[in-house]
Structure 1
C-alpha cells in the first residue's frame, strides 16, 4: 500500500500531476487545494490514498493529512466516489465542507458538480458527527467563498498579465465582504483595487 510519496513534480495540472520518485513517475489525482501548493520541477511530499479496484489502481495525493482524512470520509458515503470527492475538495475548502455539513447546508454541497440533493443530504447525515475537527482546523476562511468564481477570476486576471498572488489577496478581501459576486463582477472589483 502506497502511503506517501516524496519526489519532483514532473507534470502539473489542476486536478492531476506526475511525481518523479527516483526515476519512476507516479500519476496522482489531486484537488485544486493541493495543486495550488505545488511547483513544477520542485520537490514535494504528498500524503497518498491508494484505491485498488479489479481493473485499476488509483493514487490520490494531498498536501495535508487533514485533506486526506476528509477525502476518506467523503468516499465512505454511499454515492460519493473518489472523483466526486476530489471535485468537492477542489470546489470548497475543508472548513466550508465541514461548516456545510454541520449547519445542514445541502445547497452549498449541491453547488459542487455531480452532487445532487440526495447525495448532499446523505453526506450531511453520514458525516455530521465526524467533521468537527475540520471546521476547527485553523483555516481562516469563515465565510462560504465560491472557489470556482475566485479561481476563474484569477485565471482571467493572469491572462491580462496580473500576478496571481497580488490578485488573490484582493479577491479574498472582496469575497469576505460580498461572497455572492459573479466572475465578471469580481474581476472588475479586483481591477479597481489594484
Structure 2
C-alpha cells in the first residue's frame, strides 16, 4: 500500500493531481478540498490509499489521515465504491459524517448525488459504532484553485459520474440560487452547492412522482 506521496505538483485540476515522485508522475484522485490545498510546482505531501482491482490500480488522495480513514470505512458499506465514497467526502466533512452516523441522520447522506434513502440507511446502520464524533470543528473551505471556475467544476462533476450537459445545467441552477458563489469564484464551494442542489432536485422529483 502507498500511504503517502511526496513531490512537486506537476498537474492539477479539481478532480485529480499528478505528483512528481522522483521523476515518476503519480496520478492521485481526490476531493476539491484536498486538491484546493495544492499549488502547481510546489512540493506537496498527500496522504493516499490504493484500490487494486483486476484491471486497475487507482490512487486516492486525502488532506490528512482522518479523511483517509473515513473513506476506507465508507468502503465497508455494501454498495459504496471508491467513486461514491469520494463524492460523499466532496460534500461532507469527516466530522459531519461521524455526527450523521451517530445521530442516525440518513437525510444528511441523501444530499450526495447517487445516495438514495436505502444507501443512506445502510451507511447509518452499518457504520454505527465505527464512526464516532470527535468533537472537532468543521474546517473552513480552502481557497479556490486559480483556474476558470466553471471548467473546474464541470471536470469535477464528470469525474464523479455526471455528464457534461447535466453538470452545466446543475451548476447554472446552483449559482442562480446563490449568486455570491460566482462572485467569490470559490470552486470547492460552488461544487458543494451544485451537489446540494442536485440532491434537493432529486428529492423534488421524487416528491412529484409520488
TM over 0.5: yes
Aligned to 2:111: 111
In structure 2, the CA distance between the partners of 1:154 and 1:13, relative to structure 1 (3 Å rule), is: farther
Q: Is the 8 A contact 1:32 1:89 kept in 2?
A: no
1:1-194 mapped onto 2 (5 Å cutoff) = 1-133=1-133, 135-139=134-138, 156-158=182-184, 164=186
Give the alignment's Cα RMSD to 1 decimal. 2.7
Q: 1:136, CA displacement in angstroms?
A: 2.4
For residue 91 of structure 1, report the CA deviation from its aligned partner.
0.6
- Shift of residue 155 of structure 1? 5.3
Give me the TM-score of the superposition, normalised by structure 2: 0.67
Report the CA distance between 1:103 and its aligned residue.
1.3
In structure 2, the CA distance between the partners of 1:34 and 1:77, relative to structure 1 (3 Å rule), is same
Q: What stretches of structure 1 move > 4 A for 4+ residues in a row?
A: 152-155
Aligned to 1:171: none
Cα distance per residue 1:5-58 (max 9 Å; x no partner): 001111111121111111110111101221121112111111110010000000
Compared CA separation, residues 41 and 140, structure 1 to 2 (3 A): closer
Query: Cα deviation per residue 1:128-176 (whole Å; 9 max; x = unaligned)?
Result: 201114x4234357xxxxxx969x86751245xxxx5xxx8xxxxxxxx
Aligned residues between the structures:
157
Which residue of structure 2 aligns with residue 145 of structure 1? none
Distance (whole Å) between structure 2 residues aligned to residue 21 and residue 94 of structure 1: 28
Unaligned runs of 5+ in 2: 141-170, 190-195, 198-210
Pair 154,59 (structure 1): closer, same or farther in 2 beyond 3 Å? farther
Runs of 5+ in structure 1 lacking a partner? 142-147, 169-180, 183-194
Which digits, 9 at most, give the CA deviation of each residue in 1:83-114, with x for residues without a partner?
00111101111121111111111111011011
Structure-2 separation of matches of 1:140 and 1:4: 22
TM, length-normalised to structure 1: 0.72
Structure with greater contact order relative to length (CA < 8 Å, sep ≥ 6): 2
